Structure 1
Amino acid sequence: MLLCSAVQAQGGTDTIDIAQAYLEPEGAPAWSGQVKLPHLWDKAYPGLAGRARYQLVLPPVAPDGVLRGLYFPRVGNQVQIYVGGDLIAHRGVLGDSRNDATKAPLWVPVPTSLLSSTASTALEVRVAVQPVRWGGLAAPRFGPEATLLPQYRERYIWRQWGAVAVVFALALTGVVAGGLWHLNREPVYGYFALCAPFGMLRYGDRLWETSPLGWPLWGGIVAFSLTVHMLLLVRFALALVGRDGVGARRGFWVLLAAEASLVVGGFGFGQPWCWTAALALLFVPAFWAYAVAAREALVARQPEAIALCLASFIPIGAGLYDFLEIRVSTESVGRSSYLPLATMLFVLLMGWLILNRYARQVRAYQGLSNSLDEKVRQREQELQVSYALLQQEHAQHAALLERQRIMRDIHDGVGSQLVGLLSLIGKGRTNAQLREHANAALDELRMAVDAIQPVGGDLATVLATLRYRMQPRLAATGIQVDWQVEELPALESLTPHMVLQIQRLLLEAFTNVLRHAQASTVRVSARHQDGPGQPPHLVLEIADNGVGMESSAQLGGQGLANMRARAQAIGAQLEITAAPGQGTCVRVALPMAPEPVQPAIPAPAPAAPASRWP
């Protein structure tokens, strides 16, 4: 078999750019002939899978003991390499679509024993290709290992470690943006956090030869991830300059639908031009977003827009170069792509811009917080001043109400008694009647004074004071007092008004005992009751062993009405029981927390009536 090959020597290495090709596309006739390398399968048979054999020749080598090898800038999709008829290297299994050797350059050491110093050596490269996978063969280089291995390593690092750098940068900035979005739900952070995983999938696909899914499903997923990544970056850029409006949102979904259709056409139906069109379509929103950012930078002098324009210039230029020189031009197959490193620089700059934006927001929020704190402090001071004034006004109002109450009590109590006393004097009544009214006036005065004294909710003290006032008068008439006051709980609602009403109510009962009961003993009792089905209350009782009353009709009159009104004023219940020859009992049930009821209290009659219970 005659092997045709063109070998170009350069710097001690040989580049082989002519091969005898045997092409076997599926669904099309086989073909053989010379091809110029690089040879791109998708250009020759778009949408078809198949196999190819490329026969080349290696020039004679001097027996100098120098190690030599083959450097393939691009070969695939699955490949086997034979030198002198012996298999010396392979990547993947021919026809297994999960493997793709085109993702990285290939270095193959050639054993010296397979090379000849006098004649050419046959080199055969067998490949299996899948549609829309950019398979085929770039021009291999043959020469000393010391010369070619550094070239291979440089390209490998540029291509593979560039992808690693992009994935790491996307992961770092994506996590930061996601955390910031979680804090304040601002869309600009959400767009970047969302685009990062799609970009990581696209660029990370270069890092493993064996895909998790077969072709073309995996190719469609990776391609669609790239389109989503780029469109979300456009949304991020527009949101960064404040132009992510309704039109941008609608355009995003329209472009996403168009890109999805082209991806399906390219990978689902095996049409390479669809994927090329999808890549070309991505430049439309990219240039539009750049134009919007440039306008904001020139007109509004917006810092984010200026930074975005500077950061986007390099990746857009790199993407345009890769599209024209690698995707469109067949002669450039095997060249290095600049987009990953340009993308890494863009991502890092955007990460810095995101952090700087957040720092400005934090400073703005801190300034706003400090301003609010100062306003709150001023407001607190104003409220404190207002509260102090209200306290002062409340104290003055309380003092005024207390003075009015004292004046009213003196007027209604002592005043009415003095008026009655003057009336009796004018009528020439007896000394006994005058003395009785004078004592009544004195009792009213004493009760008004006693009501002012603080008792701290202690009802027993009020009763003791009343006993002290009444004891001499009761003893003068020969009436003994049976004191049965238990230890009582504090009554929080025991105000001076309430004390005065209790004193007057009980004084009315004592006065009736002195005037009408003809008793020798009066029992005064006080206890606390808290039984089931009723609220806790205090029970006060004044019971005598006098003559009692013959019928309930004798319980009427102005005196009883006054007692009931006083009990109602303090929320108490009044009960009077009497029977002929068995004495009379006045019972007052005083709730622990009575409802404040303040009906008008009728003034006592100016003259003492002659009947029982006046």
Structure 2
Amino acid sequence: MAWLLLLAWLSACGGGARDGGAMHIEQALFRTEPGAGWEPPPELPLSVQDMGGWAQVPLPHARARSLAEGSASLQAPPDVAWYRLTLPASLPAQDLFLYLPRWQTIGVVAVYVDGRMVYRSRGSRVWNSFNRPLWLPLGSGTGGSSAAPHTVWVRMASQQGVGGAISSAWVGTEQALLWRYNLRSFVQNDLISQTGAAFLVIGLFSLAVGLVRRREPIYLLFFAVSVTCVLRNLHYVVDDHPPPVPDDWFGWVSVNALGWSMVSIFAFALRVHRKRMPRLAWGIAALVVLCAVLTLPVPLLLPHVHAILPAVYIVLTALTAVVAVSGLWASWQARSGEGMVLFAWFSLNVPAAVHDLLLQNYRFNIERVYLAPYLSIGLFAIFLAIVYRRYLGAIHAVEFVNAGLESRLAARERELTASHEQLRALERQQTLAAERQRLMQDMHDGIGSSLMSALRMVEHGQASTADTALVLKDCIDDLKLAIDSLSPADADLLAMLAALRFRLAPRLKAAGITLTWSVQDLPPLPWLDPQAALHVLRILQEVLTNLLKHSQATAIDLATEVRPGDANEGGVVVRIRDNGHAFVPTASAPPATPAGQGLANVRHRAQALGGHCQWAAWEGGGEFRLWLPLERAVN
């Protein structure tokens, strides 16, 4: 409301005829110049200096504008009007300035001082500096009884049928007039351009948020409202520089941006009051699209936009009223306070549009200001407040949800910690039970079986001292293997082989067999746990025991190598080669025999490790190979 009061004050602020070193000129002489062209001459024409044909008119003064003109007016010569302002001799003898609050027409304006042109409007004839006050230096004052008064002529060349208007003029010193010029320039131009730039920046931020939060289209709609409002107000801040696009296209964007902004506002409001109005929404969108298509500046379609602006604005004003009334009704039905405030303010666009339309057609005092851009400022502030409230509401909702999640997460963590401790205790019990069961099974199958065989032999008197000693040695070897399997191998097969060498070397030496060690570095085997280690040790023990009993070898070579390949094909090989009788078993040895049972156990243990074994002969004796994978599939 403060801005509306300021605008009303500016509209009524005319001051007296004299205001401390400034003169308010409210009368002028007026005449037309038939047959003149668009371009103003550098010097005042003699025909204009002639006193004939001049008529005194009050300032502000306007020439009537028709509602719409045909395309023929675009190629017709202009209507040229002249205004003659005579400066009184009582002005102070200082540098004087001319301050003109507003002029408006579609055409070219030039100002002459004492017959010499000092100003000419530049850029576009259509989108010119109509909303910018004019400030011109006139030179030294005319004080003194013998000085001739200065005379200012204003030449206005206008497109036929569109008319033109000029405000009253002020002449005086810079100190007396500059504050008026600065205040009106700020309100009419700087305020609109600065707030438009701020709105566009906020709209870009909203676009960035909307692209992240795609489920909340209100941010994207806020960006659309900001862009369309900025486009709508561009023609109010145009200066002497021409627009970056052709006049027709600039006019098309400026006019239709009003309809685009209404569509964006209506879509935004649907998200605010959550009232579905599909028929009205589609009707508004269709009418805006139809208006945009029909006003396209293309040949053979319609006259150029600037020639039918009043008629287009009447249609858009009626559409504004429909949007305002429907929005108020929907917000009332939905009991949406935000929607009521939004459309209550938006409804002010209807009287503002009527005011601006009458001002554009020179029905009002031309020194008034256009109200539409200032209503856009208020409307955008309401949009910003709504989005800000929604944003804060979303943050509070997230904080509330996070607080609930944190409490539930803490409770869940306590439950998981308790469950984890229970699982660890149960896992320890299961591990101990499994290890106990494995040891019992190994002792039963190995040491227990050997001891039971020895006991029966002794009880039946079939065991000699040597046989008994051999059985006891086997039992001791089995016990040592079980103990070695419990030692942490850290996936190191070489360390385990070294322990086996340490255990069996004395026995091999006692049997007269030389053991050579031809191993190389091997990669770690992650799956080599105590149970797998025992399988490997028992395989190698069975093979070495068979060599001691049956091969009559005098030398044994144990070697390792790495087979290249990926995790599924690569592996390590343990090779045992002797110089005795080669043992090459058939595909399957009879399981009833001890040899068949031993070979079956070796194959079974190798398959349990995910590997395989092979017996072969070479030119110097026999050979056994055990292939083990680098990684083993988990069953």
Q: TM-score, normalised by structure 1?
A: 0.74
* Alpha-carbon spacing, 1:561–1:344, altered in 2? closer, same or farther (3 Å): same
Corresponding position of 1:127: 156
* Alpha-carbon spacing, 1:372–1:266, altered in 2? closer, same or farther (3 Å): farther
2:69 to 46, 57, 71: 46
Is 1:467 aligned to residue 498 of structure 2? no
1:254 to 271, 275, 286: 286
SS at match of 2:109: strand
Q: Which runs of 5+ in 1 are unaligned?
A: 1-7, 27-31, 599-614
* Alpha-carbon spacing, 1:430–1:334, altered in 2? closer, same or farther (3 Å): closer
Is 1:563 aligned to residue 598 of structure 2? yes
Question: Aligned residues: percent identity?
Answer: 17
* Alpha-carbon spacing, 1:586–1:447, altered in 2? closer, same or farther (3 Å): farther
* Alpha-carbon spacing, 1:435–1:337, altered in 2? closer, same or farther (3 Å): same
Corresponding position of 1:172: 201
**C-alpha distance in structure 2 between counterparts of 1:193 and 1:441, whole Å:** 88
Deviation at 1:79, TM superposition (A): 2.0
Deviation at 1:388, TM superposition (A): 3.3
Q: Deviations over 1:496-517 (max 9, x none)?
A: 4445445555555565566556
Contact 1:223 1:263 in 2 (8 A): no
Contact 2:87 2:150 in 1 (8 A): yes
**C-alpha distance in structure 2 between counterparts of 1:131 and 1:391, whole Å:** 96
* Alpha-carbon spacing, 1:116–1:328, altered in 2? closer, same or farther (3 Å): farther
* Alpha-carbon spacing, 1:459–1:154, altered in 2? closer, same or farther (3 Å): closer
**C-alpha distance in structure 2 between counterparts of 1:549 and 1:148, whole Å:** 123
Q: Deviations over 1:243-302 (max 9, x none)?
A: 577557634531321331464456348334432324314413540464157427xx5455
Aligned pairs for 1:7-22 within 5 A: 11-12=17-18, 13-16=24-27, 19-21=30-32
1:485 to 517, 522, 534: 517
Q: Which amino acid aligns with 1:411?
A: H
Deviation at 1:459, TM superposition (A): 2.6
* Alpha-carbon spacing, 1:335–1:273, altered in 2? closer, same or farther (3 Å): same
* Alpha-carbon spacing, 1:503–1:280, altered in 2? closer, same or farther (3 Å): closer
Greater shift in the superposed pair: 113-122 or 158-167: 113-122
Deviation at 1:489, TM superposition (A): 4.5
Corresponding position of 1:330: 363
Corresponding position of 1:575: 615
Deviation at 1:330, TM superposition (A): 1.6
Corresponding position of 2:130: 102
Q: Which runs of 5+ in 2 are unaligned?
A: 1-13, 19-23, 38-52, 297-301
Deviation at 1:371, TM superposition (A): 3.7
Corresponding position of 1:209: 240
Contact 1:80 1:127 in 2 (8 A): yes
**C-alpha distance in structure 1 between counterparts of 2:466 and 2:84, whole Å:** 153
Greater shift in the superposed pair: 506-515 or 162-171: 506-515
Contact 1:61 1:118 in 2 (8 A): no
Contact 2:101 2:169 in 1 (8 A): yes
SS at match of 1:104: coil
Greater shift in the superposed pair: 374-383 or 9-18: 9-18
**C-alpha distance in structure 2 between counterparts of 1:169 and 1:271, whole Å:** 32
Is 1:319 aligned to residue 352 of structure 2? yes
Corresponding position of 2:257: 225
1:398 to 426, 431, 447: 431
Contact 1:70 1:107 in 2 (8 A): yes
SS at match of 1:127: strand
2:572 to 537, 540, 553: 537
Q: Deviations over 1:403-436 (max 9, x none)?
A: 2222323333344445444554665535459737
Q: Deviations over 1:572-599 (max 9, x none)?
A: 41416499xx8x645242425485899x
Aligned pairs for 1:48-127 within 5 A: 48=73, 50-54=77-81, 61=88, 65=92, 71=100, 73-76=102-105, 77-81=107-111, 86-87=115-116, 89-92=118-121, 97=125, 100-106=128-134, 125-127=154-156
* Alpha-carbon spacing, 1:455–1:563, altered in 2? closer, same or farther (3 Å): farther
**C-alpha distance in structure 1 between counterparts of 2:248 and 2:521, whole Å:** 90
Q: Which has the larger radius of gyration?
A: 1
Aligned pairs for 1:365-514 within 5 A: 365-421=398-454, 423-424=456-457, 427-429=460-462, 431=464, 435=468, 438-439=471-472, 442-443=475-476, 446=479, 449-450=482-483, 452-454=485-487, 456=489, 457=492, 458-467=495-504, 470=507, 475=510, 479-486=511-518, 489=521, 492=525, 493-508=527-542
Contact 2:165 2:362 in 1 (8 A): no
**C-alpha distance in structure 2 between counterparts of 1:360 and 1:411, whole Å:** 73
* Alpha-carbon spacing, 1:203–1:508, altered in 2? closer, same or farther (3 Å): closer
Q: Deviations over 1:345-403 (max 9, x none)?
A: 33344334434432332333344344434444444443343333333333322322222
**C-alpha distance in structure 2 between counterparts of 1:176 and 1:597, whole Å:** 53
* Alpha-carbon spacing, 1:300–1:142, altered in 2? closer, same or farther (3 Å): closer
* Alpha-carbon spacing, 1:18–1:39, altered in 2? closer, same or farther (3 Å): farther
* Alpha-carbon spacing, 1:181–1:292, altered in 2? closer, same or farther (3 Å): farther
Corresponding position of 1:276: 313
Q: CA RMSD, aligned part only? A: 4.8
Q: Which amino acid aligns with 1:305?
A: G
Contact 2:108 2:121 in 1 (8 A): yes
**C-alpha distance in structure 1 between counterparts of 2:259 and 2:169, whole Å:** 35
1:136 to 140, 146, 164: 164
